[in-house]
Structure 1
Amino acid sequence: MDSSSATFQISNEAVCFCWQSSVTRTSWTANNPGRRFRGCSFYGRPAACNYFSWVDPPPHPRYKAIINGLLRKADNKGNDEQKLRRMVKCYQIALGMLLLGVIIQKMWL
């Protein structure tokens, strides 16, 4: 029996090989976007076991394409907002320098 198919049940709660309550997480990989799975609560630490079990069935290929497209669009939108903020900051600096130049020029006249 491999780690992906073994599940222990104690009081209706999935328990990993560490005998800890497993944790439900959501995958955001390109192959399984939005798909939930249960894994070791010590994941990412040296004490973690290899317990892993899918909660949701595999997504339909169209679902994967839609979710991945939305994630790319959201990433691009975030990048556009960052570019806009940088541009506004540059304009603010340029306007400040222009005003400072005008003030200094009036002081010298």
Structure 2
Amino acid sequence: MAMENVDGYAQITEQTMCMCGKNAAMKTSWTKNNSGRRFLGCSFYGRLDACDYFKWVDPIVHPRYKSVINGLLRNANHKDALENKMQRNLMYHRILLAMVVMVLLVCCVI
């Protein structure tokens, strides 16, 4: 994907190859400093055989956008953590209830 600069924004005009010889993949950054910014990167990113190809597609994001995106990510992560905690608590209570029932059954049989 070759890029042309139009009014400060990168425009994708054709497919770009990374240094591996594969088509570069469009990705989105979720780091604290670049949340929501799009970039082209090696299609093997995250693997040992990936090259270091990297090129920003979007302009630098306004600091307020970064703040909003990071806040949304924190809220989503917090919600996921709460849901996981609730699931663990539910499982704990089910196990505890099963143990109580087993003890009552054993006491009633004896």
Bin for the TM-score computed over the shorter chain: 0.7 to 0.9
Aligned length: 99
Deviation at 1:47, TM superposition (A): 5.8
Q: Residues 45 and 90 (structure 1 numbering): CA distance in 2 closer, same or farther, change over 3 Å?
A: closer
Give, in whole Å, the separation in 2 of the partners of 1:84 and 1:57. 40
Cα displacement string for residues 3-37 of structure 1 (whole angstroms, at most 9, x for unaligned residues): xxxx69xx822233454422211111111111110
Whether the 8 Å contact between 2:43 and 2:50 is mirrored in structure 1 is: no
Q: Residues 98 and 27 (structure 1 numbering): CA distance in 2 closer, same or farther, change over 3 Å?
A: same
* Identity score, percent: 43
Task: Give 1:19-98 correspondences, 5 Å limit.
Answer: 19-43=21-45, 44-46=47-49, 48=51, 50-98=52-100
CA-based RMSD: 2.2
* TM-score, scaled relative to structure 2: 0.76
* TM-score, scaled relative to structure 1: 0.76
Give, in whole Å, the separation in 2 of the partners of 1:88 and 1:18. 48
Give, in whole Å, the separation in 2 of the partners of 1:83 and 1:51. 39
SS in 2 for 1:14: coil
Counterpart of 1:3?
A: none
Q: Which runs of 5+ in 2 are unaligned?
A: 4-12
Q: Which runs of 5+ in 1 are unaligned?
A: 1-6
